Amino acid sequence: MNILVFLLLSIFFFSFPIFLGIAVFISLLSIWHFFLWIWTIGNFLYRKSESNNIVELRYFQLSIIAISAYFVYIIAFFTLPNFQDALNESNIDLGTFLTLIQLISSVALLYEFYFVAKCLNAAEMEMGEEYLVLTDYIKDFFLIAFFIIGVWSIQNRINILASKN
């Protein structure tokens, strides 16, 4: 619910140029709130599932950090004029660099959704992740990807898993 409030406030503040700094800050807070939620449920569901694959957990955590760094970079790129000048003076082709960063962040985001959906199903079915097939968790993948709709279903299921303790 907090993310919806943040998004509505940022849309309001983006409408008025004088409030652009506030809008960027509120947008950044809402994005980080979402990724904190993903980080928390990903770690919780990994512990609840019977998986012993620590490499997948590390990839998941690394992808969250990569996405956070991407958003900090984008905010700095569009709001700090000195940052843009420094990039323009360097020998880096800006279009290629932005495309590469966007591609890496997109893959990291898809991996986060995949990891959380797979761990959620593994924890609910009380079996290891290696026994799951794509059809078991594709619905949850899209519920997490379309967060505003899916949070109502996903969070209820996580609360049930947490109360089983």
Q: Map out the domains of the chain as residue ranges.
A: 32-164
C-alpha–C-alpha distance, residues 28 and 59, integer Å = 23
Question: What are the DSSP E strand ranges found in the chain?
Answer: none
Q: What DSSP designation does 128 have?
A: -
pLDDT at 98: 78
C-alpha–C-alpha distance, residues 120 and 127, integer Å = 11
Specify the pTM. Answer: 0.78
Mean pLDDT of 22-46: 83
Q: Which of 70, 53, 74, 33 shows the shortest CA–CA distance to 118?
A: 53
pLDDT at 130: 64
Q: What percent of the chain has pLDDT over 90?
A: 8
